[in-house]
């Protein structure tokens, strides 16, 4: 099947540079090229001929600067994504990325001049990948109703799925994050977006967690008989910590399935830990005292407080996916990642980075000292059957 070509505009005042960049794009193939010499020319061309998927331009342009061009192009819905040619200072690149996002566009990154083929190929691949994810995100999924969700819980229609975590040095799987999927009898496999808001509103998150733990701990018990130690991470909402029964239920399940508590991690989002009550802190302490691990999830996504790392009994930091995305583009992000990795090591805390989508991101994170990663470059969330098959194939090879 022939795919629709990407429509790429090369915006450069230098005819020789435009020609060079255009030739590199032709080498990639399946690209419809348009060219412009300056911002006003680019707007006129796009208005007449149609929207561009990607525009390559410098941050400094004669006449209409890049900021004015982007604002007017966004208002006219004339482009999707931007690639900056040249090497703007890191703080400027970060601010341009924020502005581009506010305009509803995407900054794919920046590229050297003269343009190198492998850099262009990487950015084209990133566009294709991000475009697929954006289309998936735009699909409006109607929420289930409370009656159906309660019935699904009772019928055992919710299933544990597993997002692998990998050692970035050996590329061995070193654990999984346990996620929930709804196997609907008529609609097929449904994502958490359909049911999680209902579960939270109806205070059914504990029911879901216990179901996930029963399935995942049974799997861990089964895998252990084959010599595989499987580390499991479960998501906890801050509201669940108010329950004095939660730690007792967790302990009972670990005892029943004979799973060592050190194999289990509970991930809590940083934003949910802004106000910690006595009951919540007691629950966290009980989980740690029984030997479970606690991870502060999405670290760096909100208003991070280092004080939380000192006051609360977390022993793992899980860096937000925005850092993996920015690692190839932003020096400041690389410095922050490296600093947090060193901070975690100094505090005796493991550091996990999620949202890794490309091999380049993986290599850079590895060079910054990151040891554990998670993301689509390794695997999406998979079923129990797929996970067992993965380990079976590994043993057979």
157 belongs to a structural domain: yes
Question: What pLDDT score was predicted for residue 139?
Answer: 46
pLDDT at residue 375 tops 70: yes
- Cβ atoms 65, 39 nearer than 8 A: yes
pLDDT at residue 132 tops 70: no
Question: What pLDDT score was predicted for residue 261?
Answer: 96
Q: Please name which of 101, 29, 45, 40 lies closest in space to residue 72, comparing C-alpha atoms.
A: 40
Question: What pLDDT score was predicted for residue 89?
Answer: 74
Domain closes at, from 138, 157, 180 = 138
Same domain, 31 and 122: yes
Same domain, 74 and 163: no
User: Alpha helices, DSSP H only, in the chain?
Assistant: 15-28, 39-49, 66-75, 90-102, 117-138, 146-155, 192-201, 205-224, 246-257, 278-289, 306-311, 321-326, 331-347, 359-367, 384-396
The average pLDDT across 103-108 equals 86
Same domain, 72 and 158: no
C-alpha radius of gyration, the chain, whole number: 24
pLDDT at residue 303 tops 70: no
Pairing of strands 52-58, 372-373: unpaired
Non-local CB neighbours of 198 within 8 Å, separated by 6+ positions: 143, 144, 145, 146, 149, 204
Alpha-carbon distance 53 to 76, whole Å?
Answer: 14
The average pLDDT across 296-304 equals 74
Which DSSP string do the residues of 358-387 spell out, in sequence order?
Answer: SHHHHHHHHHTT--EE-STTT---B-HHHH
Q: What pLDDT, in 10s, does the model give residues 211-270?
A: 999 999 999 999 999 888 899 999 999 889 988 899 999 999 999 999 999 999 999 986
φ, ψ dihedrals at 275, nearest 5°? -120, 115
Q: Please name which of 247, 312, 297, 239 lies closest in space to residue 267, comparing C-alpha atoms.
A: 297
Same domain, 312 and 235: yes
In whole numbers, what is the pLDDT of the chain averaged over residues? 87
Same domain, 107 and 213: no
The average pLDDT across 126-153 equals 70
pLDDT at residue 120 tops 50: yes
The average pLDDT across 77-106 equals 82
Domain closes at, from 101, 118, 138 = 138
1 belongs to a structural domain: no
392 belongs to a structural domain: yes
Q: What pLDDT, in 10s, does the model give residues 320-346?
A: 888 898 888 778 889 999 999 999 999
Alpha-carbon distance 244 to 118, whole Å?
Answer: 56
Asked if omega into 114 is within 30° of 0 (cis), the reply is: yes
pLDDT at residue 134 tops 70: no
- For 11-46, b/e burial (b = at least 16 CB within 10 A) is bbbeeebbebbbebbeeeeebebbbbbbbeebbebb
Same domain, 178 and 280: yes
Q: How far is CA 16 from CA 21, 80, 347, 388, in A?
A: 9, 26, 54, 56
61 belongs to a structural domain: yes
Q: What pLDDT, in 10s, does the model give residues 29-81?
A: 888 999 998 888 999 999 998 899 999 988 777 777 888 888 999 999 999 88
Same domain, 59 and 77: yes
Q: What percent of the chain has pLDDT over 90?
A: 48
Residue 187's CB: how many other CB atoms inside 10 A?
10
The domain of 341 spans: 146-396
pTM of whole model > 0.75?
Answer: no
The average pLDDT across 141-168 equals 92
Same domain, 175 and 121: no
Any idea what DSSP says for residue 7?
E
126 belongs to a structural domain: yes
Alpha-carbon distance 86 to 112, whole Å?
Answer: 5
CATH number, domain at 181? 3.20.20.450
Q: What percent of the chain has pLDDT over 70?
A: 92
- Cβ atoms 48, 75 nearer than 8 A: no
Question: What pLDDT score was predicted for residue 221?
Answer: 94
Which DSSP string do the residues of 295-314 spell out, in sequence order?
Answer: EEEEETSS---HHHHHHS--
Task: State the catalytic residues.
Answer: 354
Same domain, 354 and 205: yes
Read off the pLDDT band of 130 (50, 70, 90).
Answer: low
CATH number, domain at 103? 3.40.50.2300
Same domain, 34 and 170: no
pLDDT at residue 136 tops 90: no
φ, ψ dihedrals at 270, nearest 5°? -60, -40
Q: How far is CA 51 from CA 13, 55, 63, 320, in A?
A: 20, 10, 22, 32
Alpha-carbon distance 15 to 314, whole Å?
Answer: 57
Question: What pLDDT score was predicted for residue 270?
Answer: 63
Domain count, the chain: 2
Listed range (33-42, 46-55, 83-92, 282-291) with the worst mean pLDDT: 83-92
pLDDT at residue 202 tops 80: yes
Question: What pLDDT score was predicted for residue 1?
Answer: 38
pLDDT at residue 394 tops 80: no
Same domain, 128 and 37: yes
Same domain, 63 and 19: yes
Pairing of strands 173-184, 188-190: antiparallel
The average pLDDT across 368-389 equals 93
Domain closes at, from 109, 138, 167 = 138
Question: What pLDDT score was predicted for residue 386?
Answer: 94
């Amino acid at each position: 099947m022939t795919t629709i070509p990407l429509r790429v505009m090369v915006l450069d005042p230098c005819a020789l540079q435009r020609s060079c960049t255009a030739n590199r794009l032709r080498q990639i193939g399946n690209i419809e090229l348009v060219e412009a010499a300056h911002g006003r020319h680019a707007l006129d061309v796009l208005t007449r001929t149609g929207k561009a998927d990607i525009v390559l331009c410098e941050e400094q342009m004669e006449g209409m600067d890049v900021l004015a061009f982007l604002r007017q192009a966004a208002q006219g819905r004339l482009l999707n994504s931007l690639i900056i040619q040249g090497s703007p200072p890191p703080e400027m690149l970060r601010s341009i990325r924020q502005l581009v996002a506010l305009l509803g566009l995407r900054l794919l990154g920046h590229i050297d001049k003269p343009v190198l083929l492998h850099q262009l190929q990487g950015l084209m691949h990133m566009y294709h990948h991000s475009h697929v994810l954006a289309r998936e995100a735009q699909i409006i999924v109607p929420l289930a109703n409370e009656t159906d969700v309660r019935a699904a819980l009772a019928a055992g229609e919710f299933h544990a799925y597993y997002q692998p975590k990998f050692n970035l040095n050996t590329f061995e799987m070193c654990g999984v994050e346990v996620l929930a999927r709804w196997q609907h009898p008529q609609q097929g496999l449904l994502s958490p977006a359909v049911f999680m808001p209902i579960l939270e509103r109806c205070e059914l998150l504990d029911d879901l967690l216990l179901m996930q733990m029963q399935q995942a701990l049974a799997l861990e018990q089964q895998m252990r008989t084959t010599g595989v130690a499987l580390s499991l991470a479960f998501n906890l909402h801050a509201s669940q910590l108010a329950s004095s029964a939660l730690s007792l239920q967790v302990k009972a399940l670990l005892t029943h399935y004979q799973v060592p508590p050190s194999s289990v991690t509970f991930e809590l989002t940083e934003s949910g830990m802004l106000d910690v009550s006595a009951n919540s802190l007691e629950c966290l302490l009980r989980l740690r005292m029984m030997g479970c691990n606690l991870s502060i999830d999405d670290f760096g996504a909100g208003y991070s407080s280092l004080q939380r790392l000192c006051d609360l009994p977390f022993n793992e930091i899980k860096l937000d996916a925005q850092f993996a995305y920015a690692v190839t583009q932003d020096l400041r992000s690389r410095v922050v990642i490296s600093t947090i990795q060193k901070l975690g090591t100094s505090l005796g805390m493991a550091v996990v980075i999620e949202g890794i989508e490309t091999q380049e991101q993986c290599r850079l994170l590895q060079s910054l000292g990151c040891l554990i990663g998670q993301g689509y470059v390794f695997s999406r969330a998979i079923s129990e059957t797929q996970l067992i098959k993965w380990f079976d194939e590994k043993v057979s090879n």
